[in-house]
Amino acid sequence: MNVLAFLIPVSLILGGVGLAAFIWTIRSGQYSDPDGDAARILMDDDKPSDG
Amino acid sequence: MTSACAACNAAPAAIRLAEAVEPNMTLSVPGMSCAACIGKIERGLDSVPGIAAPRVNLTLKRVSLNTELPVEDVTARIAELGYEAFPLDAAIVGQDADPAGRDLALRLGVAGFAMMNVMLLSVAVWSGAADATRDLFHLISAAIAVPVVGFSGQPFFRSAWSALKVRRLNMDVPISLAILLATGMSVFESLNGGSHAYFDAGLSLTFFLLIGRYLDHRTRASARSAARELAALEVQTAERLDGQGRAHRTPISDLAEGDLILVPTGGRTPVDGALESAAALTDRSFLTGESDPASLACGDPVSAGEINLGAPFRLRATSVGEDTTLRRMARLVEGAEAAKTRYTGLADRAAQIYAPAVHLLALAAFAGWLIISGDVRFSLNVAIAVLIITCPCALGLAVPAVATAAIGKLYEHGFLVKSGTALERLAEVDGVLFDKTGTLTVPGVAGLTDVLDAKQKSVALALAQSSSHPVSRAIRDGLSGIAPAPVTDIRDVPGRGVEGRLGGVQVFLGRGQDGLTLTIGGNEHPLRQDETLRPGAAEAVAMLEKSGLHPALVSGDAESRVRALAKKLDISDATAEIGPDAKHELVTNRSADGSRFLMVGDGLNDTAALAAAHASLAPSSAMDASRNAADIVLLREGLSDLPLLLAIARKSTRLSRQNFAIAAVYNLIAVPIALLGFATPLIAALAMSASSVTVLLNALRVRRPS
């Protein structure tokens, strides 16, 4: 049963990474304009300065 | 992988750009609808010195930017790009697009994370983990569940508390009680080495219910208060003339009755007033619905919000601020919207029966077992099992799941549903009220292609392009696809039309001796102005009549035109020459008689009626304020899918009722098990997941063709 001492923290940390990524996407406003973002990905010249 | 990386890089780059400069101006641009608009507007604004970081939000149809320029310069620039823009009051609109949605999504994400982990730990317990191992798993589960329930459950706790404070019960009271008791009792059991830990049940309850709450919120995210948008229509500054006739830019709030105000060509009148100039031509279609511009003489009253189509005119203010016509309409809309929020939806009606029943049942179980067994801990466990197993999550999902599926289906047919209870109200309507101008008809110019030859058409297009008058727009649409003639020196002839020069020849488009005329070098070509029927309107009206839904026509336009259209469409019930107040009154009177109407309208004059009707629909060509007052926006040109909208609404209400029945059947099976004390955490988790999934699957049936 010693393996549990590794597996449980590992599974929690991996889940936590996913949660942290999700929180980041919310915080940075990536759901505030779904229609616009869907269209922007098709534009190849939307950020010419980053070119 | 390269494409995936490009996609990853795009979002942070956009965020960096937006964060670099804080936007300080927000404009509503209702006309933008496509991917190309984003680039066109952002690049078009970026090239203007003094404007920084323009950012389009296509979902909300807004542009935010940072600039020190006056707002008129920005709207003029956007108009040059071909879009109409209205400044929004940043204080009213707020910079954050949807803080409540973000908050719910965050709580949902956290609850989902915790539920998955605790479920996995529970599998070990159900598979037979015992003694110290089981206790360890329970304690780890508790460490995850307690803070998560405290965080993710807050929307339910707050709602339940506010209901209890006014001594009422809502659906959130049994939900909160079940979540809190399940978690609290499980902590107690875990600490005392018991086997009845309901952490997974408490968390999945929170998770499933948050899904329902989030779906519910999303369906309403785009619906903002129409009254607010009406306020945004008002101009923010005006040209006040002093004693010497000099114009001073003055904020609207500083204007007083008796002030003399200059209204420039193309500007909106800031206040109600009387005309001081000899003559004026205004577009007051938003007030009256009348398609022709209004010609005014000295002394005639002018309402706030009218657009000056002719030469600049002077106006003596008669009422300002809160007393203007526009403000009065905003208040009417606000009142009607408040009345509509009092509509009790299916879910609320179910909660009113369900909540007291569940509490009594749980209390009875506790009391009964306490008398029989005398064991407080066991009796409490049974009561909690009853609370959890009565499937409040299936009930919580019953309506939002169907509504979301139906709204998705309707979106494919061009209907944007904004209000949560719109579908239920739509299913109850027994008649349809149509506005005429802009709803059943669209402005047009008759026989353009037959009357004019190729050269005349190109001249007409060149002149029409430079004017924003509704008729010019109709000509522009009617002649799309041909190249405009190289007309130079184009200028407005205030109150008459547009003129210019083609080579050495004088050309003119506008009011001639007998109506609309195109003049090329002295030769007049009369054009016939009329309205064309919106595509699908005749079919929709006929089908409504056939299905027993009484169609009626209410319009602010002239009697003869309304009669003609009513005859053409075979509508027997038609009312003409009716103002916005009277329209609103007509709707409320008929509603008082027990009729439930679907109002279909597009103008500002329909706004109050749209808000007051049992359900309402506005075409996407409608004014911003009407689109916001309406429950549903039609994104397509044609009206032919209107009967389909009503059919789907009725189907979704039927499926919502079925969902409640399914939840009830689960309760009939599971509650006796719980009452007899046989419910284990495993049975509770199974019953809850099974009922939630069944309800979700049933909801998807709304998408099947009937």
CATH label of the domain that carries residue B450: 3.40.1110.10
* Interchain CB contact of B102 with A (< 8 Å): yes
Mutation for A interface: B3, B5, B33, B38, most A CBs within 10 A: B38
Rg (C-alpha) for chain A, rounded Å, is 19
DSSP string, B242-311: -TTS-EEEEEGGG--TT-EEEE-TTPBP-SEEEE-SSEEEEE-HHHH--SSPEEEETT-EE-TT-EE-SS
B505 secondary structure, DSSP code: E
Of A23, A34, A37, which has the smallest distance from its Cβ to B109's Cβ? A23
Crossing angle (nearest 10°) for helices B131-152 and A3-27: 10
Asked if A23's CB is within 8 angstroms of B113's CB, the reply is no
pLDDT of residue A17: 92
pLDDT, mean of residues B28-42: 78
CATH number reported for the structural domain that contains residue B245 in this entry = 2.70.150.10
pLDDT, mean of residues B475-488: 78
Question: How near does any CA of chain A get to the CA of B289, in Å?
Answer: 32
> Are the CB atoms for B155 and B107 separated by under 8 Å?
yes
pLDDT of residue B654: 92
pLDDT, mean of residues B55-72: 80
Asked if A28's CB is within 8 angstroms of B15's CB, the reply is yes
* Interchain CB contact of B1 with A (< 8 Å): no
Residue in chain B lying closest to A15 (CA)? B113
Of A29, A32, A39, which has the smallest distance from its Cβ to B38's Cβ? A39
Which of B62, B93, B124 terminates a domain? The answer is: B93
pLDDT exceeds 50 at position B5: no
Crossing angle (nearest 10°) for helices B199-221 and B681-700: 20
d(CA B507, CA B488): 10
In which band, very low, low, confident or very high, does the pLDDT at B367 lie, cut at 50, 70 and 90? very high
Between CA B176 and CA B182, with CA B181 as vertex, the angle to 5 degrees is: 100
Asked if B58's CB is within 8 angstroms of A33's CB, the reply is yes
> Is the same domain home to B350 and B214?
yes
Query: Judging by DSSP bridges, how do beta strands B62-67 and B25-28 pair with one another?
Result: antiparallel
> Is the same domain home to B80 and B158?
no
Residue in chain A lying closest to B40 (CA)? A46
> Is the same domain home to B111 and B213?
yes
pLDDT exceeds 80 at position B588: yes
- ipTM comes to 0.79
pLDDT exceeds 50 at position B3: no
For the beta carbon of residue B504, count every other beta carbon within 10 angstroms.
6
Question: How near does any CA of chain B get to the CA of A7, in Å?
Answer: 11
Residue B260, beta-bridge partner list: B241, B316
d(CA B453, CA B110): 67
Range of B76's domain? 2-93
pLDDT exceeds 80 at position B12: no
Q: For residue B632, give Cα distances in angstroms to A35, B91, B589.
A: 18, 27, 23
Asked if A16's CB is within 8 angstroms of B59's CB, the reply is no
Asked if A33's CB is within 8 angstroms of B57's CB, the reply is yes
Question: How near does any CA of chain A get to the CA of B52, in Å?
Answer: 14
> Are the CB atoms for B350 and B648 separated by under 8 Å?
no
User: Is B646 inside a domain boundary?
Assistant: no
> Are the CB atoms for B215 and B227 separated by under 8 Å?
no
Q: Which of B57, B70, B66 is nearest to B28 (CA)?
A: B57
> Is the same domain home to B114 and B204?
yes
Phi, psi of B552 (to 5 degrees): -140, 160
User: Is B11 inside a domain boundary?
Assistant: yes
d(CA B428, CA B435): 20
Asked if B120's CB is within 8 angstroms of A42's CB, the reply is no
Which of B30, B58, B93 terminates a domain? The answer is: B93
With beta carbons under 8 A apart, name residues in chain A contacting B38: 36, 39-40, 43, 46
Give the side-chain half-sphere CA count within 13 A for B136: 11
> Are the CB atoms for A30 and A22 separated by under 8 Å?
no
* Interchain CB contact of B59 with A (< 8 Å): yes
Asked if B10's CB is within 8 angstroms of A23's CB, the reply is no
What is the share, in percent, of chain B residues with pLDDT greater than 70? 83
With beta carbons under 8 A apart, name residues in chain B contacting A44: none
pLDDT of residue A49: 47
User: Is B177 inside a domain boundary?
Assistant: yes
User: Is B153 inside a domain boundary?
Assistant: yes
Residue B274, beta-bridge partner list: B301, B316
Higher pLDDT, B511 or B537: B537
User: Is B612 inside a domain boundary?
Assistant: yes
pLDDT tens for B193-236 read 777 788 888 888 888 888 878 877 765 554 443 444 545 555 56
At B618 the three-state DSSP class reads: strand
pLDDT of residue B2: 39
> Is the same domain home to B262 and B305?
yes
With beta carbons under 8 A apart, name residues in chain A contacting B59: 32-36
pLDDT exceeds 90 at position B148: yes
* Interchain CB contact of B343 with A (< 8 Å): no
> Is the same domain home to B543 and B420?
yes
pLDDT exceeds 60 at position B407: yes
d(CA B683, CA B674): 9
Structure tokens at B59: 């979902």
Question: What pTM was estimated for this model as a whole?
Answer: 0.65
Of B98, B110, B136, which has the smallest distance from its Cβ to A32's Cβ? B98
> Are the CB atoms for B205 and B175 separated by under 8 Å?
yes
With beta carbons under 8 A apart, name residues in chain A contacting B13: 47, 50
> Is the same domain home to B541 and B580?
yes
* Interchain CB contact of B101 with A (< 8 Å): yes
With beta carbons under 8 A apart, name residues in chain A contacting B105: 26, 31
Which of B504, B532, B560 terminates a domain? The answer is: B532
Residue in chain A lying closest to B19 (CA)? A28
Helices (H), B466-570: 470-478, 537-546, 559-569
How many domains does chain B contain in total?
5
Provide the residue type at B431 as one letter: G
Asked if B140's CB is within 8 angstroms of A29's CB, the reply is no
Question: How near does any CA of chain B get to the CA of A49, in Å?
Answer: 10
User: Is B327 inside a domain boundary?
Assistant: no
Comparing B73-82, B465-474, B683-692, which segment has the lowest mean pLDDT?
B465-474
> Is the same domain home to B569 and B597?
yes
Residue in chain B lying closest to A32 (CA)? B97
Active-site position among B135, B259, B283, B435 = B435
Rg (C-alpha) for chain B, rounded Å, is 31
Asked if B11's CB is within 8 angstroms of A37's CB, the reply is yes
Asked if B97's CB is within 8 angstroms of A32's CB, the reply is yes
* Interchain CB contact of B119 with A (< 8 Å): no
> Are the CB atoms for B270 and B304 separated by under 8 Å?
yes
Residue in chain A lying closest to B8 (CA)? A41
Q: Which of B79, B90, B100 is nearest to B31 (CA)?
A: B79
Mutation for B interface: A3, A31, A42, most B CBs within 10 A: A31
Give me the sheet containing B279-283, strands edge to edge.
B294-297, B279-283, B307-308
Asked if A39's CB is within 8 angstroms of B13's CB, the reply is no
Asked if B17's CB is within 8 angstroms of A33's CB, the reply is no
Asked if A41's CB is within 8 angstroms of B7's CB, the reply is yes
Structure tokens at B306: 């009218």
With beta carbons under 8 A apart, name residues in chain A contacting B17: 47
> Is the same domain home to B103 and B64?
no
Residue B416, beta-bridge partner list: B633
Residue in chain B lying closest to A26 (CA)? B102
In B113-122, which positions are buried (b, 16+ CB within 10 angstroms) versus exposed (e)?
A: bbbbbbbbbb
Asked if A30's CB is within 8 angstroms of B117's CB, the reply is no
Asked if A16's CB is within 8 angstroms of B105's CB, the reply is no
With beta carbons under 8 A apart, name residues in chain B contacting A4: 133, 136
In which band, very low, low, confident or very high, does the pLDDT at B137 lie, cut at 50, 70 and 90? confident
H/E stretch holding B520 reads strand B515-520
d(CA B351, CA B212): 15
* Interchain CB contact of B120 with A (< 8 Å): yes
- Provide the mean pLDDT of chain B: 79
d(CA B64, CA B493): 35
Structure tokens at B703: 């998408």
Residue in chain B lying closest to A27 (CA)? B102
pLDDT exceeds 80 at position B290: no
User: Is B62 inside a domain boundary?
Assistant: yes
* Interchain CB contact of B58 with A (< 8 Å): yes
The question of whether B435 is a catalytic residue gets the answer yes
Asked if A11's CB is within 8 angstroms of B117's CB, the reply is yes
User: Is B28 inside a domain boundary?
Assistant: yes
CATH number reported for the structural domain that contains residue B26 in this entry = 3.30.70.100
d(CA B500, CA B515): 19
pLDDT of residue B338: 62
> Is the same domain home to B435 and B455?
no
Q: For residue B199, give Cα distances in angstroms to B118, B174, B180, B192.
A: 7, 17, 10, 15
pLDDT of residue A15: 86
Q: For residue B229, give Cα distances in angstroms to B89, B224, B566.
A: 9, 8, 32
In which band, very low, low, confident or very high, does the pLDDT at B499 lie, cut at 50, 70 and 90? confident
With beta carbons under 8 A apart, name residues in chain A contacting B214: none
Helices (H), B342-437: 346-373, 376-389, 392-412, 422-427
d(CA B43, CA B597): 45
> Is the same domain home to B555 and B677?
no
> Is the same domain home to B554 and B435?
yes
Within 8 A by CB and 6+ apart from B518, the residues are B452, B456, B459, B460, B463, B507, B508, B509, B524, B525, B527
With beta carbons under 8 A apart, name residues in chain B contacting A18: 113
Comparing B252-256, B503-507, B573-577, B645-649, which segment has the lowest mean pLDDT?
B252-256
Mutation for B interface: A3, A10, A12, most B CBs within 10 A: A12
